[in-house]
Chains A and B, each alone.
Chain A
Amino acid sequence: MRYMMLIYSQETESGPAPEDGERIKAAHLALIEEASRKGVLRGAEPLAPTSTATTVRMQNGAMLLTDGPFAETKEQLAGYYILECGNLDQAIEWAAKIPTGCKGSEGSIEIRPIPEMPGLTRGSQSPNV
């Protein structure tokens, strides 16, 4: 099944030091390469920092916009991977390899299974004809 690995990084004012940034980037590229070689990669993208986020909420038919992320948290969503894994243990093995310092300080990975929803088209799978 597919699992989404949400990367929560601690955003710092200046972001990671240049040499750390290079190291983290290289680690992500290596991981993407490995996951792709093993045929499990279904997607992986970084996100711009939460300072660029806009939150949209519909309230009584009116649109309410907020500058910033949906919630102020200690660690912020910084990117994601979607990987095809046989079970949660395999997903945990992959998650342990994902660097989390992308936005400054080390954070954590949240693993969320993606339920199969028959009838929904997905970019990652060829449609059933």
Chain B
Amino acid sequence: MSDVRSAAEAVFRQESGRIIASLIRLSGSFDRAEEAMQEAFAAALACWPDRGLPLNPAAWITAAAHRKIIDAARRERTRIAKQDSLLYETPTAAPPPGAQPEDAELEEAAMHYPDDRLRLIFTCCHPALNPEAQVALTLRTLGGLSTAEIAKAFLLPEATLAQRLVRAKRKIQEAHIPYEIPPPERVPDRLGPVRAVIYLIFNEGYTASSGSNLVRRDLCAEAIRLGRLLNQLLPDEAESLGLLALMLLHDSRRDARIVNGDLVTLEDQDRTLWDRRAIAEGLQLVEKALRMGRAGPYQLQAAIAALHSRASAAEETDWCQIAALYRVLLEMNPSPVIALNCAVAVAMSGRLEEGLQQIDGPAISGALGNYYLFHAARADLLRRLERWPEAAGAYRQAAGLATNQVERDFLDRRLRALSLLASG
């Protein structure tokens, strides 16, 4: 029994996205698809212990769920026909409800169901839905996460998350958001929100916006899985490759970034703890993307991450090159946060004073005065310039604004180390 259960769970983890995508197309409804999939998994758990594991468990479940949808549609037609009392239901050769799919049908199912996940991605990330709804819907359907799991990952009450999903599904249904891959000329526009959703999921996992657990690994893994899926379904999109590379390169530092619950900066990380395989894959992807000659923000950020990954020690980091990449990124996407990163790169390339001057300029300090990373970056440069009292003040401001306990602890440690230096 436990073998059967774990087999069913494995199928669910690997195949639920593909199965639900096909069920939504067939039933025209997210709710009916979810219901049919749950019933099919329940039927599998009831049936497999006696009859043994089918040859292709995923196809078995798909076929069983398809039949449940067809049965439900037939019952609905019968009900309407009876209500109208105009039509007479002709008896069909339908199998009795609850019958299990036959092997021949299973083979058929395995052969002929197209992969509908791309439709599902574009529908879940439709720009007519708000970003929170896009994220929740993507994790629920393509990720196969339960409402409770998503709520927990985003530190929201389950009822809030459930409400968000209900509202999104209702809008899809009532406003007729199509279950379609957009026409080719619209694909570039529509891919923007898809990538944004995947990156949001990754970032939520990588730097939890609040709470004491800095990395929620499940979300990072899920985002990377979705990134791979996007590249598999719609290959040779430079920015999608860049996004996957960016996530892999950041995720490669996971074990070095948090040690005993404490945040370790890039500079102080033990680089032997970095995941070499993830780095190799990330580097290969970013090179492939950049060779396509359509540079974009994800590729540039990945290229910056790649320069950090290539340095075997912090001192060997090519900060000049990083500053140059940030300047290109800033041109594409003028934002004070990117300007801050650019200024830090300038400072780290050996021009500390110049970097600090840029940070203190109105373009950055005016916009980011309430952003803890702004004060943390200032504090770090002031510390390097050995301007202790000013550095201490900036660390205190940063700690006051940080929302994450792990990050607050880090800033407090820096502050304590600083007071030792200043007094010594």
Chain B residues, CB < 8 A from A86: 176, 178
Q: In the complex, how many angstroms separate the beta carbon of A58 from the nearest chain B beta carbon?
A: 28
Q: At the interface, yes or no: B175 with Cβ under 8 Å from chain A?
A: yes
Q: In the complex, how many angstroms separate the beta carbon of A29 from the nearest chain B beta carbon?
A: 27
Do B174 and A113 touch (CB < 8 A)? yes
Q: At the interface, yes or no: B385 with Cβ under 8 Å from chain A?
A: no
Q: Which residue of A lies closest to B128 (CB)?
A: A88
Do A92 and B178 touch (CB < 8 A)? no
Sample of 24 A–B contacts (CB below 8 Å):
A1-B176, A86-B176, A86-B178, A87-B176, A87-B177, A87-B178, A87-B180, A88-B126, A88-B128, A88-B175, A88-B176, A88-B177, A88-B178, A89-B177, A89-B178, A89-B180, A89-B182, A89-B186, A92-B128, A111-B175, A113-B174, A113-B175, A113-B176, A115-B174
> Which chain A residues (92-113) contact chain B, with CB distance < 8 Å?
92, 111, 113
Q: Top 5 nearest A-B pairs by Cβ distance?
A: A87-B178, A87-B176, A113-B175, A88-B177, A88-B175
Q: B351-384 toward A: CB 8 Å interface, digit per residue (1/0)?
A: 0000000000000000000000000000000000
Q: In the complex, how many angstroms separate the beta carbon of B272 from the nearest chain A beta carbon?
A: 51
Taken together as a complex, chains A and B put the C-alpha atoms of A87 and B174 apart, in Å, by 10
Taken together as a complex, chains A and B put the C-alpha atoms of A87 and B183 apart, in Å, by 14
Q: In the complex, how many angstroms separate the beta carbon of A2 from the nearest chain B beta carbon?
A: 10
Chain A residues, CB < 8 A from B174: 113, 115
Q: B165-200 toward A: CB 8 Å interface, digit per residue (1/0)?
A: 000000000111110101000100000000000000
Q: Which residue of B lies closest to A89 (CB)?
A: B178
Chain A residues, CB < 8 A from B180: 87, 89
Beyond A88-B176, A113-B174, A113-B175: 16 further Cβ-contacts under 8 Å? Answer: A86-B176, A86-B178, A87-B176, A87-B177, A87-B180, A88-B126, A88-B128, A88-B175, A88-B177, A88-B178, A89-B177, A89-B178, A89-B180, A89-B186, A92-B128, A111-B175
Q: In the complex, how many angstroms separate the beta carbon of B24 from the nearest chain A beta carbon?
A: 15
Taken together as a complex, chains A and B put the C-alpha atoms of A113 and B177 apart, in Å, by 11
Chain A residues, CB < 8 A from B176: 1, 86-88, 113
Chain A residues, CB < 8 A from B186: 89
Q: Which residue of A lies closest to B127 (CB)?
A: A92
Q: Which residue of B lies closest to A111 (CB)?
A: B175
Chain A residues, CB < 8 A from B182: 89
Q: Which residue of B lies closest to A92 (CB)?
A: B128
Q: Which residue of A lies closest to B177 (CB)?
A: A88
Taken together as a complex, chains A and B put the C-alpha atoms of A88 and B177 apart, in Å, by 5
Taken together as a complex, chains A and B put the C-alpha atoms of A111 and B128 apart, in Å, by 10
Q: In the complex, how many angstroms separate the beta carbon of A90 from the nearest chain B beta carbon?
A: 8
> Which chain A residues (1-35) contact chain B, with CB distance < 8 Å?
1
Chain B residues, CB < 8 A from A111: 175
Q: Which residue of B lies closest to A112 (CB)?
A: B175
Q: In the complex, how many angstroms separate the beta carbon of B170 from the nearest chain A beta carbon?
A: 11
> Which chain A residues (63-119) contact chain B, with CB distance < 8 Å?
86-89, 92, 111, 113, 115
> Which chain B residues (108-158) contact chain A, with CB distance < 8 Å?
126, 128
Taken together as a complex, chains A and B put the C-alpha atoms of A89 and B172 apart, in Å, by 11
Taken together as a complex, chains A and B put the C-alpha atoms of A89 and B182 apart, in Å, by 9
Taken together as a complex, chains A and B put the C-alpha atoms of A92 and B177 apart, in Å, by 10
Q: In the complex, how many angstroms separate the beta carbon of B315 from the nearest chain A beta carbon?
A: 53
Chain A residues, CB < 8 A from B178: 86-89
Q: In the complex, how many angstroms separate the beta carbon of A24 from the nearest chain B beta carbon?
A: 26
Chain B residues, CB < 8 A from A87: 176-178, 180
Taken together as a complex, chains A and B put the C-alpha atoms of A62 and B300 apart, in Å, by 65
Q: Which residue of A lies closest to B122 (CB)?
A: A89
Taken together as a complex, chains A and B put the C-alpha atoms of A97 and B8 apart, in Å, by 50
Q: Which residue of A lies closest to B172 (CB)?
A: A88
Q: Which residue of A lies closest to B190 (CB)?
A: A89
Taken together as a complex, chains A and B put the C-alpha atoms of A120 and B186 apart, in Å, by 37
Q: In the complex, how many angstroms separate the beta carbon of B193 from the nearest chain A beta carbon?
A: 14
Chain B CB count within 10 A is highest, among A1, A86, A87, A88, for A88
Taken together as a complex, chains A and B put the C-alpha atoms of A87 and B180 apart, in Å, by 10
Q: Which residue of B lies closest to A115 (CB)?
A: B174
Chain B CB count within 10 A is highest, among A1, A87, A89, for A89
Q: In the complex, how many angstroms separate the beta carbon of A3 from the nearest chain B beta carbon?
A: 8
Chain B residues, CB < 8 A from A89: 177-178, 180, 182, 186
Q: Which residue of B lies closest to A113 (CB)?
A: B175
Taken together as a complex, chains A and B put the C-alpha atoms of A89 and B174 apart, in Å, by 13
Q: In the complex, how many angstroms separate the beta carbon of B130 from the nearest chain A beta carbon?
A: 14
Taken together as a complex, chains A and B put the C-alpha atoms of A92 and B182 apart, in Å, by 13
